[in-house]
Amino acid sequence: MRADRLVSLVLLLRRHGRLSADALARELEVSTRTVLRDIEALSTAGVPVYAERGRHGGFALLPGFRTELTGLNHEEALALLIAGSRRGAQAFGLGSALASAMLKVVDALPESYRDTASDAAQRLLVDPEIDLLSRRLVAEELSDTIMTEVRRAVLAGHKLRIHYAAVDQDPQWRTVDPIGLVTVRGQGYLLATRSGADRTYRLSRVLAAEELDEPAQRPDRVDLDQAWQGRSTRFREGGELISVLVRVNPARREELVGTALAVRSEEADADGRVRMEVTFQDRRHAEWAMWQLATNAEVLAPPWLRTALHHRAAALATCYEVSSAS
């Protein structure tokens, strides 16, 4: 336990640069006296920890000090190996770097951990390529060259110039202030501002990118999860959305919720079905989503959607009409 704490102490100093004994004690959930003993143990072991006196003093590592990744226990290594199976790195053009990092993680483990950690990682699967109905997750193909430029600008805090192909528009060059990168179900997005206004760009629609030397106009810290939720809400509530009233088989409710932009109301019907009011991006989206549910859902409104589904069904019935000869 103490060995893990000593490694954590070094990593905290590496991350923050300088911390007081009280701050280290809070982070490690131990007493200040324990921290002082740990500092002494690190110094004895040759780790260059030094103390700075004064109001803003504390403990720090000598500049340039590096430590090998040897403090991982079995559970920590397993968590890293499982995290490495997720698709975020692929969406951001870091697939090869991730593979290399995973090899280093395994190599850094004590020999007694290597086989058991690798075997355990093989028995846990996160986000498989297909679901139980063999529906494949369509991953976007992104240019490594483009993603390198985008990623560098995001991490360095520089302005970014992109050649972007918006839907139903000719590609145009735009200069943006990048905030962060988000991946959702195998699709990558760049969160940015342009002339002070929030913008969200689909990475697969970026045809070229160039990191600029000029600093980006953005806050020093950002909560990407909160930013994404805010933009998702504005996307769902903006534009001329289509509202649909539908009765759906409870067994297919989750599928409907997964394809709709939002659920406005929901209540149980007397026959066991669920009556819901949901919204879609446009008419095409609404018609496609309801057609997938077949007889497991009945559209009650709007009338034009009922008519569109009726025409689809009639055309399908005509296509498969059984002749009298058969």
What is the arithmetic mean of pLDDT over 116-144? 67
State the Cα–Cα distance between residues 212 and 174, nearest whole angstrom: 12
Which element (helix H / strand E) includes 228?
helix 224-237
Say how many C-beta atoms besides its own lie within 10 A of residue 24's C-beta.
23
* More confident position, 204 or 173: 173
The pair of structure tokens assigned to 111 is 């020999």
Residue-wise over 92-128: b if at least 16 C-beta within 10 A, else e? Answer: bbbeeebeeebeebbeebeeebeeebeeebeeeeeee
Q: Encode pLDDT of 268-286 as tens digits.
A: 998 899 999 999 888 888 9
The pair of structure tokens assigned to 281 is 């991006």
Q: Encode pLDDT of 210-248 as tens digits.
A: 999 999 999 888 888 888 888 877 766 665 678 999 999
pTM for this one?
A: 0.53
